[in-house]
Chain A
């Protein structure tokens, strides 16, 4: 049996209780913006899978709008099946909206769209999906928008930072307009040069929760795959009626339990040294 709530949930502000059947929300807090940063050696896509799993869990009513630029539907479907969530069924229930954008910016487009790489059209689709979903079930529903991953949106916009950042800001307005939450995956190591750092700095500014995945500085290990740094900027959390952690930095090591085929984050052995 799975633990009711793990460290990653705690870091994301997800309250998840498997045992109780009460209507506790197991999705991200409304209006939150999560930025996940990873690098070539260490992929952080498992955080996205985890958020998907929690948001689409049976005892939550939230839905997910998923923009995939890196993998086809079958990839996520298989992974989430292993985690105990059937994406194809959720898609049919209209709780999971999947936009396959593998070929975004590559196919022939109408003249007006060439410069923005089809981003305006894409935003229109997202907005429509959210409006449809909201109108069908009242405003109580929390919608999570997931962007996997942002660096490919820049490629689709042919390097126009204005277009890609505009797209991001538009998506961000949806968090306040409809109470959606926004999850963005991006790659930190692309922006290490000073002149190209603007996009990631802007995103880091917008985000409430910042998650960084890095390889272990000590090198390869058999069961630990890297470390996650979570920066929670301290949002007011209605459900807990308290400030949900102040500005703080926590470091965690995570390992993928090979048998469970599941991600189990665990605290590093020396938490007192690493926690600020």
Chain B
């Protein structure tokens, strides 16, 4: 008895989570005992310091003029299915199952060439020397790497849907209590039992306070729902992401929602034209700090969302206004003009 208490109260205890999680695909141990799951966007993982923290609640503030939260959700959900993680998807639409058909497929290794040329050539050399080994490695990688790059133009292959706990609910015909019950039974299936982590579950709820759900006069009930969901997720082995149209809430309730989030993202429609690849902006307001009080210092709070070659999502820092090389205007005028408009719209 005395030895067990001693082991528990000692400051130098081995982290029981560090060992086993490194072998489970889709989970990555982070600092301070945190475990990360991937957001499905490599750049976002990097910005957030590893990915979404297991046990955290991510909230995305929707822009009524832009559907970028759908891109985030698609990648998030597809990544989960790729890693064989259970998924619960709640949506305000009548047919939430239909959304699963729009999930992107991971890029096949053939066309998933890295953006820089140098590594590409290195790999080619390796192929020439050890062709067999390389091809086998690649097959493993596409299923087991922590974060895949997704091709938004190709739908997710059928094989990834098979035999897993994929649950879809329409929030239109559910009351908040029942929705919470669905979430809690879903989470109970993969609860955090001691030190063994099986795989991270994912909950995605889209457009939570949209008018068609009929929650609009239940401000406090919605808050209580989010608070309970946060508590449930924290105690279990899962990640929840909620997107909400914050313009529908009063400003004080919107702030309450934002305070409840562990990680808070926002999206912004693109106000500029002439940037071919850029589709909008992503703001990062809060990053989950589990078990630590040291805040993560971001290089920037606003990133541009780009569609690289019209297929994969890329986030880029906006240090300078991007200059559109294709447009015929001279260098000087275009840059100065775009800088001023950008600062006006983004409120740096």
Contact = CB atoms under 8 A, between A and B. Distances in A.
Interface stretch (A23-31, A151-159, A238-246): A151-159
A110 interface: no
B154 interface: no
Given A79-B292, A220-B301, A256-B293, A190 B256 contact: yes
Contacts of B230: 102
A41 B259 contact: no
Nearest to A191: B252
Contact of A155 (B223, B290, B298): B223
Contact of B227 (A75, A86, A106, A192): A106
Interface in A146-194: 151-152, 155-156, 158-159, 187, 189-193
- Between B5, B227, B235, B285, the greatest number of chain A beta carbons within 10 A of the residue's beta carbon is seen for B227
Interface stretch (A43-51, A122-130, A136-144): A43-51
Interface string A48-77: 010000000000000000000001101100
A274 interface: no
Interface residues of B, number: 41
Contacts of A49: 293
Interface in B192-219: 219
B48 to A, nearest CB: 16
A41 B285 contact: yes
Contacts of B32: 78
B220 A256 contact: no
Contacts of B256: 151, 155, 187, 190
A12 to B, nearest CB: 17
Nearest to B12: A81
B278 to A, nearest CB: 22
Contacts of A159: 219-220, 223
Contact of A40 (B235, B286, B290): B286
A75 B290 contact: yes
Interface string B275-312: 00000000001100111111101101100000000000
Contact of A196 (B252, B258, B298): B252
B295 A225 contact: yes
Contacts of A193: 250-252
Contacts of A78: 32-33, 291-292
A120 to B, nearest CB: 18
Nearest to A261: B294
Contact of A92 (B9, B180, B252, B285): B9
A263 interface: yes
Contacts of A71: 234
A40 B301 contact: no
B129 interface: no
A20 interface: no
A258 interface: yes
Contacts of B33: 74, 78
Contact of A158 (B5, B221, B300): B221
A190 B224 contact: no
A92 B221 contact: no
Contacts of B294: 256, 258, 261
A152 B227 contact: yes
B137 to A, nearest CB: 37
B290 to A, nearest CB: 7
Contacts of A191: 252
Contacts of A261: 292, 294
A249 interface: no
B265 interface: no
A193 B293 CA distance: 29
Contact of A256 (B223, B291, B295, B298): B295
B158 interface: no
Contacts of A268: none
Interface of B: 5, 8-9, 11, 32-33, 180, 219-221, 223-224, 227-228, 230-232, 234-235, 250-252, 255-256, 258-259, 264, 285-286, 289-295, 297-298, 300-301, 348
Given A78-B292, A263-B293, 14 more contacts: A40-B259, A46-B293, A72-B234, A78-B32, A79-B291, A102-B235, A103-B231, A106-B228, A151-B259, A156-B227, A193-B251, A220-B300, A220-B301, A256-B295
Interface of A: 40-41, 43, 45-46, 49, 71-72, 74-75, 78-79, 81-82, 86, 88-89, 92, 102-103, 105-106, 151-152, 155-156, 158-159, 187, 189-193, 196, 219-220, 222, 225, 256, 258, 261, 263
12 contacts: A41-B285, A78-B33, A78-B291, A89-B9, A92-B5, A103-B228, A158-B224, A190-B256, A219-B348, A225-B295, A225-B297, A261-B294
